[in-house]
Amino acid sequence: MGYCRNICLDSCKKVILRDGCPRRLISDNGSQFVSSVMQKITYCLIIHTRTHTRVSPSCQSA
């Protein structure tokens, strides 16, 4: 668990330093986006999350 957590945190740091902290995260319910580590990160950084099914293209923004 520690190794995966470190990879996730390092990746988040790189993205935030490069692009800034996102305000929201929209995903297709992929396991990497709904994991407990990602839930803690989005909670701490006040990132609003939204998930949708992969079958519903109307949920995706154009």
Distance CA 51, CA 59 (A): 9
pLDDT digits (tens, 9 = 90+) for 34-59: 888 888 888 888 989 888 776 656 66
> Among residues of the chain, what percentage have pLDDT more than 90?
5
Distances (CA, A) of 36 to 22, 42, 54, 58, 59: 19, 10, 21, 27, 24
Query: SS3 for the chain, per residue?
Result: CHHHHHHHHHHHHHHHHHHCCCCEEEECCCHHHHCHHHHHHHHHCCCEEEECCCCCHHHCCC
Q: What pLDDT score does 48 carry?
A: 92
**Predicted structure pTM score:** 0.59
The domains located in the chain, with CATH, are 2-55 (3.30.420.10)
